[in-house]
Structure 1
Amino acid sequence: MTNKELLKIADEFGTPVYVYDVESIRHQYEKLTSSFGKKTRFFYAAKALTNINILKYVKKLGASLDCVSINEVKLGLKAGFAPQNILFTPNCVDLAEIEEAMHHKVHINIDNISILEQFGNKYGSSYPIFVRINPHIFAGGNYKISTGHIDSKFGISIHQLRHIERVMNTTGINVEGLHMHTGSEIKDPEVFLQGLEIMFGLAEHFPNLKYLDMGSGFKVPYQDGEMETDVKELGKKVEKAIHEFAKESGKHFELWFEPGKFLVSKSGYLLVKANVIKQTTATVFVGVNSGFNHLIRPMFYDSYHIIENISNPKGTERIYTVVGNICETDTFAWDRKIHEVREGDILIFRNAGAYGFEMSSNFNSRLKPAEVMFLDGKAHLIRKRDEFEDLLRNQVEVL
């Protein structure tokens, strides 16, 4: 998208506002499908961005859907995904939520022995499932987003294989898929290959196995000079490994991945207005009309987002600390070079499509922003900005 188009959106819909250029989503999806073989399927990880219009768009591209809550499953069904194209991978839920997913006839992924036993004792082999394995592989750019290490709450440890087999033998539970997800921001394709080798080693213990799900975690570049995961190289290496394993074992599996951030991160922009320029003895602050209630990633993950002044793109570069309007420490960027910012200028945060609006809140009783989809050269409002009345919705006055 051009600065002119973004400025027009800011003028038409106000700020702060999230904007998604869906052409970027299509480009990222086609990058994946062209890099892997026909027996590889991609399940969009809905938790990255669940606006129903985005779900409908990725379905139109041909993707399936990965869901981590029963409401994501319901959103996926409402967006038109067929149940067989939805995988439900919850964490720390009770059997009742699993049973609700069964009612919707979606694929179910179980990640702990307790629920596996409860499910097996009640349903036996009547409903095939996936089992999520913790491979004890530490991967990802930040400990908070690494999910495959030994201290992670996700998955059943590979060292508990005998426990899984005991449940299978005593209940007759039918495991048709194995799943693992080691984390996010994985740059090295060898991490996926290491996980795949672990899957191959486990496969002989599951006679009804059809699917191997590698999760995702493909690296998205946030700063200039960073490299994206080379999915073409990964695709070649994975295809070779699958082919060699099939030749040796006679077993053929369908391979699944669950890209979320990889598909939608680049598509997203958060547009904000510079409210004040505040100079102290040591720092020049740009205070904007947003905060970590709209984009929590910098405060939560120390994440980096490129920030640009699209109102003054040729101005002299100066050093600013960009902060929000929340009554807490609320810093988007420290000592960042930005073209000179004047009060009223429009700034953009790049790579804001994943976990931006999705993790937003009404902290400080501030309103959530609007969302806009840029499709076929036109801007479409896909979520209205909160109004004051939204803050009181569902509150029950007793005084």
Structure 2
Amino acid sequence: MSLKLSTKQLISIANEFGTPVYVYHAEKIEEQFKKLKEAFKNSNSKFFYACKALTNINILKWMKQIGASLDCVSINEVMLGLRAGFEPKDILFTPNCVDFEEIEAGKNLGVNLNIDNISILEQFGNRYAHSYPVCIRLNPHIMAGGNYKISTGHVDSKFGISIHQLRHIERIVKTTNLNVTGLHMHTGSEIKDVNVFIEGLEVMFEIARHFQNLEFIDLGSGFKVPYQHDDPETDVNQLGAKVAEAFAAYEKETGRKLQIWFEPGKYLVSEAGYFVVKANVVKQTTATVFAGVNSGFNHLIRPMFYEAFHRIENITNPKGAERIYTVVGNICETDTFAWDRKLNEVREGDFLVFFNAGAYGFEMSSNFNSRLKPAEVLVKDGEPKLIRKPDVFEDLLRNQIEVL
């Protein structure tokens, strides 16, 4: 049975730490990681937690404890990973549209570099030649993912070097003596069809023939997690079997043994996260009943940004009569979490919980409207611990300089 926190635990945390509050379940993260390890047990696999989903230092330390490596997209994420105790060899740095100095900073820290730009690749080769290995991020021109905003492998994507520029890549590698040890692709998020990964893998196998020092192929991630009760999710067991079969066939054909890397982010932390808010007002208009809560898209932007669905429950009145509400926030913009959602009767002061709030929730939060960021709590071994204090007013002024 899948691990989850109880209503009683969430109410207790809301009462102890106040609302709004993000709550993370350590054992659920571990359960998800073990599912991946088991699914790919027949492959030489390595999993890098895509920490852009949630970078609280305690989450990073927990990821290291359960055996994950780390995928980073900024030099600051790299430094957080090192502070959390990750070895440089277990950190993959995949920046995008950054200055060459940031690439060099990653190199100087000794982490795995993943380069997705012809210009940067050439600069790196000219400066470091064969002395430092690199991975190349390719754009396979595969349209995948839940929607266009979270698709990253299509022809119009800013990510990766087009597979049609392979000849250009080869010229750079040859003229600079660049040491390419990995090939990478990531086509998007919310991928339900495992054959998307296999299609990408076949593209990578073909390109791998052009790089003799290759040690690994990285298929990124994009594993779908369920948001509703009847939602499908990526069948990682089926994918694991197909990947193992594909790598075995490739090894038999070529004699080359390559490692497979993945970068799960949302898959590891989404279902482990809960966001608890309080209903401030119930406002009935001529057409709609609004449940207005003490939060907004400054804390959870996914519904407004991605049109993402988050299941919502009234945990303090779970047996109340069901009514239809539009759940909105307190930000001075259109700020809607859910339209026409069926909930147990919402009373002012009730606690509502948003599920699947572990990924890109707090991480994308802001102080818009000069609102304060919420607390974060980690539950491990049944014990809730505060891992980030809620903002106070002084935090709004912390980096401002008053000159008038």
Q: Output aligned runs, 1:118-137, within 5 Å.
A: 118-137=123-142
Counterpart-to-counterpart distance in 1, 2:31 and 2:173: 42
Q: Which residue of 2 aligns with 1:252?
A: 257
Q: Which residue of 2 aligns with 1:346?
A: 351
Counterpart-to-counterpart distance in 2, 1:169 and 1:200: 20
Counterpart-to-counterpart distance in 2, 1:273 and 1:304: 19
Q: Once the two structures are superposed, what CA deviation does each residue of 1:298-349 show, in whole Å capped at 9, x if it has no partner?
A: 0000000000000000111100000000000000000000000000000000
Residue 87 of structure 1 deviates from its aligned partner by: 0.3
Residue 23 of structure 1 deviates from its aligned partner by: 1.1
Counterpart-to-counterpart distance in 2, 1:69 and 1:80: 17
Counterpart-to-counterpart distance in 2, 1:93 and 1:335: 42
Counterpart-to-counterpart distance in 2, 1:122 and 1:34: 41
Corresponding pairs, count? 399
Correspondence for 1:14 among 9, 12, 18: 18
The 3-state SS of whatever aligns with 2:131 is: coil
Counterpart-to-counterpart distance in 1, 2:104 and 2:94: 13
The 3-state SS of whatever aligns with 2:130 is: coil
Contact 2:296 2:329 in 1 (8 A): yes
Q: Once the two structures are superposed, what CA deviation does each residue of 1:48-76 show, in whole Å capped at 9, x if it has no partner?
A: 00000000001101000000000000000
Correspondence for 2:65 among 60, 69, 91: 60
Correspondence for 1:237 among 228, 235, 242: 242
The 3-state SS of whatever aligns with 1:248 is: helix
Correspondence for 1:359 among 364, 372, 382: 364
**1:79 lines up with 2:76 in the alignment:** no
Counterpart-to-counterpart distance in 1, 2:55 and 2:22: 13
Q: Which residue of 2 aligns with 1:172?
A: 177
Residue 142 of structure 1 deviates from its aligned partner by: 1.0
Quick one: which amino acid aligns to residue 71 of structure 2?
D
Q: Which residue of 1 aligns with 2:8?
A: 4
Structure 1 range deviating more: 318-327 or 36-45? 36-45
Counterpart-to-counterpart distance in 2, 1:207 and 1:267: 41
Correspondence for 1:28 among 26, 29, 32: 32
Correspondence for 2:321 among 316, 319, 334: 316
The 3-state SS of whatever aligns with 2:14 is: helix
The 3-state SS of whatever aligns with 1:353 is: coil
Q: Which residue of 1 aligns with 2:200?
A: 195
Q: Which residue of 1 aligns with 2:47?
A: 42
The 3-state SS of whatever aligns with 2:241 is: helix
Counterpart-to-counterpart distance in 1, 2:149 and 2:20: 27
Quick one: which amino acid aligns to residue 364 of structure 2?
M
Counterpart-to-counterpart distance in 2, 1:74 and 1:343: 43
Q: Which residue of 2 aligns with 1:70?
A: 75
5+ residue gaps in structure 2? none
The 3-state SS of whatever aligns with 1:34 is: helix
Counterpart-to-counterpart distance in 2, 1:217 and 1:51: 21
Q: Once the two structures are superposed, what CA deviation does each residue of 1:256-315 show, in whole Å capped at 9, x if it has no partner?
A: 000000000000000000000000000000000000000000000000000000000011
Residue 38 of structure 1 deviates from its aligned partner by: 5.0
Quick one: which amino acid aligns to residue 255 of structure 1?
I
Contact 2:43 2:243 in 1 (8 A): no
Quick one: which amino acid aligns to residue 256 of structure 1?
W
Q: Which residue of 1 aligns with 2:288?
A: 283
Correspondence for 2:96 among 91, 102, 115: 91
The 3-state SS of whatever aligns with 1:333 is: strand
Counterpart-to-counterpart distance in 2, 1:328 and 1:251: 56
Counterpart-to-counterpart distance in 1, 2:364 and 2:247: 37
RMSD between aligned alpha carbons?
0.5
Contact 2:297 2:335 in 1 (8 A): yes
Residue 22 of structure 1 deviates from its aligned partner by: 1.1
Q: Which runs of 4+ in 1 moved over 6 A?
A: none
Q: Once the two structures are superposed, what CA deviation does each residue of 1:31-55 show, in whole Å capped at 9, x if it has no partner?
A: 0000103510000000000000000
Quick one: which amino acid aligns to residue 135 of structure 2?
F
Counterpart-to-counterpart distance in 2, 1:319 and 1:395: 43
Residue 391 of structure 1 deviates from its aligned partner by: 0.2
Counterpart-to-counterpart distance in 2, 1:151 and 1:166: 24
Quick one: which amino acid aligns to residue 264 of structure 1?
V
The 3-state SS of whatever aligns with 2:39 is: coil
Counterpart-to-counterpart distance in 1, 2:45 and 2:321: 49
Q: Which residue of 2 aligns with 1:104?
A: 109
Counterpart-to-counterpart distance in 2, 1:242 and 1:316: 54
TM-score by length of 1: 1.00
Quick one: which amino acid aligns to residue 29 of structure 1?
F
Q: Which residue of 1 aligns with 2:341?
A: 336
The 3-state SS of whatever aligns with 2:334 is: coil
